Chains A and B, each alone.
Chain A
Amino acid sequence: AQSVAQPEDQVNVAEGNPLTVKCTYSVSGNPYLFWYVQYPNRGLQFLLKYITGDNLVKGSYGFEAEFNKSQTSFHLKKPSALVSDSALYFCAVRAPGAGSYQLTFGKGTKLSVIP
């Protein structure tokens, strides 16, 4: 069975400072990994994904994530946080191969960027 852990319920960061939102996963085989953001009363918006290739993935709005196979982690990062980045962030994993289509999400991390 696949699973995702987001160890921090909330992350607070000052505007302009770098931010990191942590994610670890468990899955058989090489994972497909995703980050989504959710604003209040909205659906999920795709930020970035790792399927294969370079371990550093660049996504929307200046976000990036680093895939670390040995630590089974896929932490989300941004060099300089904006107040508008304040939202709920979800990490998700999908097992590779045919017959596996579901995304398994973490519980989410609330990011608050303080002006």
Chain B
Amino acid sequence: DAGVTQSPTHLIKTRGQQVTLRCSPKSGHDTVSWYQQALGQGPQFIFQYYEEEERQRGNFPDRFSGHQFPNYSSELNVNALLLGDSALYLCASSLGQGRHFGPGTRLLVL
């Protein structure tokens, strides 16, 4: 049984560009959350998707948007990239209380 998978593993972009990160949840999980983990910090909640709708959003600007597909997979889109967007982006899937995290996508913005 595959756990949470994320792609790509690493990504380099320049300021002003746009990026799309992808997440496939653990089998049987219907909810996907996205977190940003800056270097030396704990993960920060971006948003959560359930039934293809954004259910809750953290304190992130509108440049961060997402989508959930009928198969429960999800995308995180970030527009107009800033240097400060460089971080590890974690996807977590859940069914109930538990959260299973993927390995993350490391984004570097130059």
Contacts and interface: CB of A to CB of B under 8 A. Distances in A.
Interface of A: 4, 32, 34, 36, 42-46, 49, 51, 90, 92, 99-108
A32 B98 CA distance: 10
A43 B90 contact: yes
B83 to A, nearest CB: 21
A104 B45 contact: yes
Contacts, number: 55
A100 B56 contact: yes
A31 B34 CA distance: 21
A64 B43 CA distance: 22
Interface residues of B, number: 24
A101 B100 contact: no
Contacts of A105: 42-44
A42 B37 CA distance: 12
Given A46-B98, A46-B99, A51-B97, A99 B45 contact: no
25 contacts: A4-B42, A34-B99, A36-B101, A43-B101, A43-B104, A45-B101, A46-B99, A90-B42, A90-B43, A92-B42, A99-B56, A101-B48, A101-B55, A101-B56, A102-B33, A102-B58, A103-B43, A103-B45, A103-B99, A105-B43, A105-B44, A106-B42, A107-B40, A107-B41, A108-B41
